[in-house]
Amino acid sequence: MHLSSANMAALWLDLWHGTFDCATSDNRSTWTWAVLKDNATWEAHGRAVAACKIGLLMYLPGLFDVAPHDPSLHLNSWYKATEYITWIYGLCPALLYNMLPKIPWRNFCKFVAGLHIMSQYSITPMQLWLACQLLNEWEPEFEQIFYQQHIDHIPIICPCVHLTCHLASEVAHVGLPIYSSQWTMERTIGNLGQEIHQPSDPFSNLAQQGIRCCQVNTLKAMIPHLDPPKNKNPHASTDLCNSFVLLAKHDRKPIILRGEEARVIAAYLRLPQTPKVQHWACLQLPNGQIARNFCGSVSRCNGSPLSCGTWSHGG
């Protein structure tokens, strides 16, 4: 959503940097929330974000795209929308802990928690109720903390602040925000643009490709067997059922465990003899993410996966 990656992200940064116009009747020194206005603090925060990149490469799920760079160096050059989202809504609740005053920090965390729920591809009624409660509590607190009924603080209350409170209530009418976001439209435009084969009349060709796409999708929805599900598991993988899939690389032959490791696994699986295991490097989880093992391997014993070592969620 551009609401989160552009509008609200820019608002939070302006607040933390204290870059709003200050009238003569106001004083920036009273803005306790402007914790990044000092260059040294801002650069230290940027280094902290960059330091997180080392750990994020191991533990950040692939759907997060790229880990954020140092914002103090790259914010005005080639910072991506996904980097904004990971930085502001993934790292800042932790990095700004004990930097922001307690009340503004708690208010920011309420917004982040509500936004995380509203960014899901599926939301339960209980989650929707929780998101509605969090965002409805967040806005009046936000106005009380930053606006303070001060006429010079009116620019702080942007339209996106009010819009955020309607996200949960509008789900029942227009569906989940992630499905109506600008990103979905941009991806569709890109996909249709790749189908254009008549450069002399591109707009008419684009319209026809859009019509054809809608017709095909309608037929697939009406007659599902026209588009049967395909086996998306890669070659040399092993399906463990329940949407768990072992991915190569792996040992060519099973090995016999020895010592305490063999005893513990045999006791866990209730086997009378020492089990044979085959080590695999990766495991695809039911949500589509891939867990990689950096300090060991995935072990398969008699068709069952065993976890040995340290797991990491990566893309």
**Shared domain check, 151 and 38:** yes
**Shared domain check, 141 and 9:** yes
**Shared domain check, 288 and 219:** no
Note down the domain range covering 218: 182-226
**Shared domain check, 172 and 205:** no
pLDDT in tens, 258-291: 888 888 888 887 878 777 788 888 888 887 777 7
**Shared domain check, 250 and 158:** no
**Shared domain check, 170 and 61:** yes
**Shared domain check, 186 and 175:** no
Model confidence, pTM: 0.69
**Shared domain check, 270 and 160:** no
**Shared domain check, 36 and 152:** yes
**Shared domain check, 159 and 105:** yes
Task: For residue 233, tell me if it sits in a domain.
Answer: no
- With vertex at residue 8, the alpha carbon angle to CA 107 and CA 100, rounded to the nearest 5 degrees, is 35
For the chain, the domain total comes to: 3
pLDDT in tens, 61-112: 666 667 888 898 887 777 888 888 889 999 999 999 999 999 999 999 999 9
End-to-end CA distance of the chain, in Å? 21
**Shared domain check, 78 and 221:** no
Helices in 75-234 by DSSP H: which ranges?
Answer: 81-86, 92-95, 102-118, 125-142, 159-164, 167-174, 182-193, 202-222
